[in-house]
Structure 1
Amino acid sequence: MESQAEAGEILVTARRRTETLQETPLSITAFDADALLARGVTDLSGVGDFTPNLVFDQGTGNTGGSTTSQVFIRGIGQADFLFTTEPGVGIYVDGIYYPRSIGSVMDLIDLERVEILRGPQGTLFGKNSVGGAINITTRRPGDEFSGRVRASYGSFNRLEVTGAVDIPIHDGVLLASIAASTKDADGYVKRINDGSTLGDINSSGVRGQLLWNASPNFDLLVAADYTRKRENSIANTLIEVDPSGSLIGLYNALVAPATGDFYDDRYISDDPFKSFGTGFNRSDLDLWGISGTATIHLGAATIKSITAFREQDAVFGADSDHSPIRYFEQSVTDEQEQFSQEFQISGESLGGRLNWVFGTMYFHEKGFDLYDIAFAPGLFDALEAFPPGIIPGLGGAGNPIHPALDFEALVSAQINNDSYSGYGHVSVDLTDRLSVSGGLRYTSDKKDFGSRIDRLAAGVTTHDLAVSDKWTAWTPKASVEFDWSDDLMTYASAARGFKSGGFNGRPTNAFVAQTPFAPEYVWTYEFGFHARTADRRLRLNGAAFHSDYTNLQLLNVTSDPQGGIVAIIENAGKARIRGFELELLAKPIDRVQFDAAVGYLDAEYRELDPGITTITLTDKLVKTPKWSFSVGAEFGTEISSNWEAKFRADYAYRSTVQHVSSNDPLLEQPGYGLLNLRLAVAPTGSDWELSVFGTNLTDKLYIANGLTQRDTLGTTDVSYGRPREWGVAIDARF
């Protein structure tokens, strides 16, 4: 249990080369493994509480499984989990792109560091990094036999065990490591009718690496990982039933009288952590991959090849009516696999004054998605039996409108995507103080999409088609940096980001299925500084930015003229986002550390497409709080001649958040803060420590996600964040 007196250097690879955070002209937040442990972060979603202008919410709406996420940086991200929509924030693990929201809430096993890069990263990281990128680096095998293990127990019978061991096989030439993790906890929302829970944890994973240092000029790292989750559905709670919705009205008028199963607000629980649901309750994931990274050092140049294959299989869904009635239930079966190959050549020239990197990237993926829905089941048969003329346009056997209102259906989608890109980036030191950087990337995306809807009660296939489209984009970046001293650097930059176009994954008719949405783009202009005191005890970094955001891709859930459900991605128009980030780290004396971060966002729609009816220019962007800040303090002390202790407190605040683009008042989360505490004790100079910790200690009730389908099914439900929890842990090294 050591505490450094200096705010030490953090190494990052944000520009595809290793350099210190202080000399990198980007707005970056970086955490190493110890920093995350001290803050109680064990999966990737936890970094959102401590990173300004980052929202990392678990789950999506009321369908997404427990392993899916909604990640937004500076107001730009991805709201839907379907593989037909692209993320706005790219996630990379050891240089390998993870393109899908499903599986992105990953456990952090044997981690070296996490870097959150704000602003478009399209030049070096590629497409779908318009808001920024999360760059994760795992720890390479060490050349000595050693290990780490952690075990913890806490609220909801939460039991976690993680461990890692380095195994040198042959004297620095052949090195191996293996890391594993298992987590288990009861759910925090109880379904009182069947005794099951929602929001539980049942996850295990393993990662192995083999490093071959064949010569001083060549090494090969082979890595493989596997994650298995067998959990219940995300912790959703019903908060509204609106009887004026189109489908709920028809269901209660035509179906419920025969069964007695009227659906209304009796199924709203007065306890936010209880549900009357009895239906589908499952969130399973199998995720694995293998990669090989070969590096050749040729004097002033380095050649790197990164080859990877990954596959995921997921089954998840929810009983979204939260009642014993089978009124609104849905499940998803999702399969995706990908192959990527990247080649890089990088190096230095002109005596180290010129740094450069060039590369090519090929990415291929294919996937299958089956969406099994039961929305107002029995409605089709009731309409067929109902006399015509009583309800305008409806009733009478054989009415051609009725199949469109049959939402007992299987919605299937297939993708086959290919992406090619080439890029280059150079940085030149014009003087000892002044540097300029510039880069450019070209991306070509081709997407094949297949869509089919089978209406089960009507016995018809609404459509069965295959379409394709192609998009290309140039994403440049330019910056200028000036070192005022060894401890103060300023920079100004301009960068463009590109988020690929695509097809609607839940089309209700052939027209929607074969009509693509266009790519979205952002130009961001940024000014920033990195500063520290000469004794390295204080570090202050900041950035201010202005972003012009065009062709916004927004998810809208609404109804068609017949009252049926329409969930469609549309290019909504333009927005302007501006703001700043400030981050402080201070270590005034030994064993004492203070850190603080603040983010500010001023975001507004500037122009909307005339066809957009669900939002207005006065609406707020989703997942874009005006203010986010966190403060932390850490104190270490000797409690006797043989024992020492370390105490840490963290408080994270986020101002009002809109969880859906329509700014539904029921899904608006007012500003709130979360308080976490941790106390660790250990024998002086030992390799183990015992800690107790608590999260959300004020037991704040807050909405982490939600979805409304008021116009159609009449429901609005939310996922509340985890309540107050405590735990005890032991960490050891050997």
Structure 2
Amino acid sequence: MSCFRRAARPLLFAGTALAMLSPAYAQDNNGTDTVAATGVQTTRTDNGDIVVIARNYVPQGAQTATKTDIPLIETPQSISVVTRDQIDLLNFTDTQQAVRYTASVFGESYGPDPRYDFVTVRGFTPRQYIDGLAVPATTTIAATGVDLYAFESLDILKGPSSALYGLAPPGGILNETSRRPSSEFGGEIEAKYGSHNFAEGAMTLTGPATPWLDVRFTGLYRDADGEVDHTHTQRLLASPSATLKLGDSTKLTGLLYYQYDKVEGGAGGFLPIWGTLLDNPNGRISRKTNLDDPKDLFERHQYGVGYDLEHRFSDTLTFHSNTKWSDYHEATPIGLYSGGGFVNTTDPTLPSYYRDLQQYNFSYKESVRSFATDNRLDATIDAGAIRNKLLLGVDYRNIKNVAAYNFVFAGVIDAFDPVYDPTYEKDVGYPFAYNNQSVKQTGVYGQDQIKIGQLFVMLGGRYDWVDENARLSGIKQKQHKFTYRVGANYVTASGLAPYISYSTSFEPVIGTDSVTKQPFKPSSVRQWEGGVKYDARGLPKDVKLFATLAGFDIKESNFVSPQIGVTPVFVTQGGEVEVYGAEAEIVARIHEQLTINASYSYNHSKVLSAPGEPADVGYPLPTTPKHKASLFVDYTLQSGALAGIGGGVGVRYTSKSTGALPGAFATPVIYADAATLFDATLHYDVPGWRFAINGSNVADKRYVARCASNYGCVYGAGRQIIGTITKKF
């Protein structure tokens, strides 16, 4: 081991120092700027017991909620934090898996699609952030798909969040915090292998290069087949970082991430409803059947580069400057898929009856460039019995999207015995512009947490100016909006904290109302939320627990369409949707031996009005089950001959949900299956090593995760078994 450390350090430090600077923002989940070098650690006590130490399994704070180090128990808004310790111990491989046991957050509605992280929160697609700054999201997809291994934690701030972040969807935001350098040497190297030839190697190493420079390198390579025949995925991730200490009061942190993805053979969607969700006279279409084409290709390159400067003027006054440049490119030169429907649904005497599907070739490419910066002062003022924790800031973002496509008819394919016609396996180019748009946003914001004894009052407000230029339509618009948040917590000595809050948010809408002939106004969102939090501060020190019980009511008004994408033309504004519900969530780790993740959520969503799509009125929002319940329990033996051996089981239930609103595809609303799925893990830990086998959907339940139309169905992910060997340093 000592030989390896001596050899690894020079290579690590030399390589990382050459690749500095990228976006940086958040602190660790306890609200401090110390970063664990190695995360979960295993030790052997003097009497031979094996203890797996996961200090940060249960979250206590998250900068996402307040942009400061205010603890979760004092924050009057629901926020779920999936820490790196949870990710490692439960062996989540992507963001969709990581939210399986989180209340009111739904993932995996597109099955095992390896390209993106499809997540909804309280009925809406959240805006994604990395290190507190918005990602370069595409025209139609809100996530960039950066691998979960690059991050230290995943925070989901639920409900309207514009008071701190500017334009934001009603459901909230999703923020991922990059791994940071540490002054302590440590890290890991791990290898995974599992179902469908899933093979992955990953590493993260960190430590001090000099007394004034800490560095880290995180990297990953994945090569895997898909659940669907003839599909294959490759991914390369590199994320170096460095922290330069400029004296006792100033530090500059830079991070860089680069990721390359290649997906061959399609993504397994666009199956017909007959043969998946409904009966087909020819039987059921297999989950492995590929009705796309083996020659389909998706490629993506993306990177982010920037810095986070922190300067402490005193113990009570700190300045942060956080900046990032991002670049995103994706291309699908060949995109054959079976979305055209059955060519024969009327004549059962022909062999093509409910068998042959019309294919299209849909090519698409998009480039997104963005610049984002957030600069703020954080001050604490004590005035006798009253303490004010003040935040003042200004941020700016500039995003440019350019997208183009082609759409041509292809051949037909047999849903039960597919034969791929090479005649249509060709690059058809991108002759038609889909989007050419720039958005500039400037926002100034302020926040004050007022502490009076055990009462904490939160006040926050923000004013935004948004400048949009949609070049294809020739529309240029300037919109502005004031949003705010008010709330209060009362934290008792036992750790119970009832709270209540009211918050607002907005999103700009590009275009002109076809009725009033006036430019669209920004959509408007308001939410009431109340509940109680509990952080178990009155329990023994080795019992860690954080629980939230919340009720909420969200109303969005003035939308044109609740769907993601370019705003449709010839429509009028005035849509309104309501989502109300309740949620409960518990994360616990007891005696560094027993872990519990449990949640339940009820989400009732309904479109109240939709002048642009009147057929949508009365229907729930897509991929928003009314009920979600989940429980995972894991236990590790610490003593005896089996010390270090442990295991866990989990169960997840989601009720049925719609795949799309009727106005989106002019079809009847289709409800996908309800599903109860089981997960399991078996692991063995000794100092320096971890061996684990994790299973998802271990009963291999077959179910339809979503049907966006009669020919837009997708199966949910089947059984996945992955073995992992991790070497800790």
TM over 0.5: yes
Question: Retained in 2: the 8 A contact 1:128–1:500?
Answer: no
Instruction: Tell me which amino acid in the other structure corresponds to 2:218.
Output: A
1:40 has 2:91 as partner: yes
- Asked whether the 8 Å contact 1:425–1:440 carries over to 2, the reply is yes
Change (3 A) 1:625 1:634: same
Change (3 A) 1:665 1:690: farther
Aligned to 1:717: 712
Counting only pairs closer than 5 Å after superposition, residues 576-591 of structure 1 correspond to structure 2 as 576-587=578-589, 591=593
- 1:611-650 maps to which residues of 2 (within 5 A)? 611-617=612-618, 619-638=619-638, 640-641=640-641, 643-650=643-650
**Match in the other structure for 2:26:** none
Equivalent position amino acid for 1:321 in 2: S
DSSP-derived class of the 1:36 partner: helix
Q: Distance in 1 between matches of 2:539 and 2:376?
A: 37
- The structural deviation recorded for 1:20 is 2.8
Contact 1:681 1:690 in 2 (8 A): yes
1:368 and 2:402 are equivalent in the alignment: yes
Label 1:570 to 1:597 Cα distance change in 2 as closer, same or farther (>3 A). farther
Query: Equivalent of 2:296, from 253, 275, 281?
Result: 281
In the TM superposition, what is the alpha-carbon distance from 1:364 to its structure 2 partner? 0.5
TM-superposition CA deviations, 1:31-62 (whole Å, max 9, x none) = 211201222212222233121111234669xx
Contact 1:269 1:275 in 2 (8 A): no
Question: Pick from 113, 124, 132: which aligns with 1:76?
Answer: 124
Cα pair 1:229 1:284 within 8 Å, conserved: yes
CA offsets 1:118-166 (integer angstroms, 9 cap, x no match): 1111111221243111122223211133221111100110001110111
Q: Equivalent residue for 2:223?
A: 184
2:62 equivalent to 1:12: yes
SS in 1 for 2:182: coil
Measured after TM superposition, the shift of residue 325 of structure 1 is 8.3
SS in 2 for 1:156: helix
- The answer to whether 1:522 aligns with 2:525 is yes
Deviations along 1:392-434, one digit per CA (max 9) or x if unpaired, are xxxxxxxxxxxxxxx99623421122111111111111x2122
**By how many angstroms is 1:375 displaced?**
4.5
> How far apart in 2 are the matches of 1:27 and 1:716?
37
Deviation at 1:363, TM superposition (A): 0.6
Selected match of 1:54 from 73, 87, 105: 105
Tell me: CA distance 1:666–1:445, structure 2 relative to 1, closer, same or farther (3 Å). closer
Equivalent residues in 2 for 1:18-29 (5 A)? 18-29=69-80
Paired position in structure 1 for 2:448: 426
Q: List gaps (5 residues or longer) in structure 1.
A: 78-88, 191-195, 243-264, 378-406, 452-464, 505-509, 558-565, 709-714
Q: Which AA in structure 2 matches 1:368?
A: V
**8 Å contact 2:58–2:83 — kept in the other structure?**
no
Give the distance between the partners of 1:569 and 1:109, measured in 2 at CA: 43
Unpaired runs of 5+ in structure 2? 1-41, 43-50, 341-355, 412-428
1:207 to 232, 239, 248: 239
Q: Does the 8 A contact of 1:556 with 1:567 survive in 2?
A: no
Asked if 1:305 is matched to 2:321, the reply is yes
Q: Which residue is 1:235 aligned to?
A: 268
Q: 1:12 offset after TM fit, Å?
A: 1.4
Aligned-pair RMSD on alpha carbons?
3.3
CA contact (8 A) 1:347 1:355 kept: yes
Letter in 1 for 2:163: T
In the alignment, is residue 156 of structure 1 matched against residue 196 of structure 2?
yes
Deviation of 1:5 (Å): 10
Asked if 1:485 is matched to 2:493, the reply is: yes
On the 8 A contact 1:279/1:326 being kept in 2, the answer is: no
Q: Deviations over 1:235-262 (max 9, x none)?
A: 12421589xxxxxxxxxxxxxxxxxxxx
- Secondary structure (helix, strand or coil) at the match of 2:448 reads strand
- SS of 1:35's partner is helix
Equivalent of residue 502 in structure 1, options 507, 510, 519: 510
1:438 matches 2:438:
no
* Aligned match of 2:330: 314
Equivalent residues in 2 for 1:257-656 (5 A)? 270-278=285-293, 281-299=296-314, 300-316=316-332, 318-321=335-338, 327-350=359-382, 353-375=387-409, 410-429=432-451, 431-451=452-472, 465-502=473-510, 518-533=521-536, 534-535=538-539, 537=543, 538-554=545-561, 571=573, 573-587=575-589, 591-609=593-611, 611-617=612-618, 619-638=619-638, 640-641=640-641, 643-656=643-656
Tell me, yes or no, if the aligned pair for 1:103 and 1:287 is still in contact at 8 Å.
Answer: no
Q: How many residues align?
A: 624
Query: What is the distance in 2 between the residues matched to 1:488 and 1:511?
Result: 52
Q: Percent of counterpart pairs with the same letter?
A: 20
Supply the distance in 2 between the matched residues of 1:592 and 1:139 (Cα, whole angstroms).
26
Q: Match of 2:491, SS?
A: strand
Query: What SS does the corresponding residue of 1:424 show, helix, strand or coil?
Result: strand
SS at match of 1:274: coil
Matches for 1:187-198 after TM superposition, within 5 Å: 187-190=226-229, 196-197=230-231
CA distance in 2, matches of 1:269, 1:373: 29
Q: CA deviation at 1:370?
A: 0.5
1:586 and 1:362 map into 2 onto residues whose CA distance is 38
Query: What is the CA deviation profile of residues 47-89 of structure 1, one whole-angstrom value per residue up to 9, with x for unaligned ones?
Result: 33121111234669xxx98433443211122xxxxxxxxxxx2
Q: Which residue of 1 aligns with 2:5?
A: none
Q: Deviations over 1:285-310 (max 9, x none)?
A: 10101011111111121111111100
Q: Do the aligned partners of residues 326 and 602 (structure 1) sit closer, same or farther apart at CA in structure 2, a change above 3 Å counting?
A: closer
Aligned partners of 1:555 and 1:567 also within 8 Å? no
Is residue 661–residue 669 contact of structure 2 (8 Å, CA) maintained in 1?
no
Q: 1:19 to 1:149 in 2, by over 3 A?
A: farther
Q: Tell me the residue number matched to 1:454.
A: none
CA distance in structure 2 between the partners assigned to 1:363 and 1:573 by the alignment? 27
Change (3 A) 1:146 1:548: same
Alpha-carbon separation, structure 2, partners of 1:330 and 1:203: 23
Distance 2:251 2:464 in 1: 29
Q: Offset at 1:446? A: 1.3
Q: Using the alignment, how far apart are the partners of 2:228 and 2:194 within structure 1?
A: 17
In structure 1, what is the equivalent of residue 700 of structure 2?
A: 699
Contact 1:312 1:336 in 2 (8 A): yes
SS of 1:76 mapped into structure 2:
coil
State the SS of the aligned residue for 1:716: coil
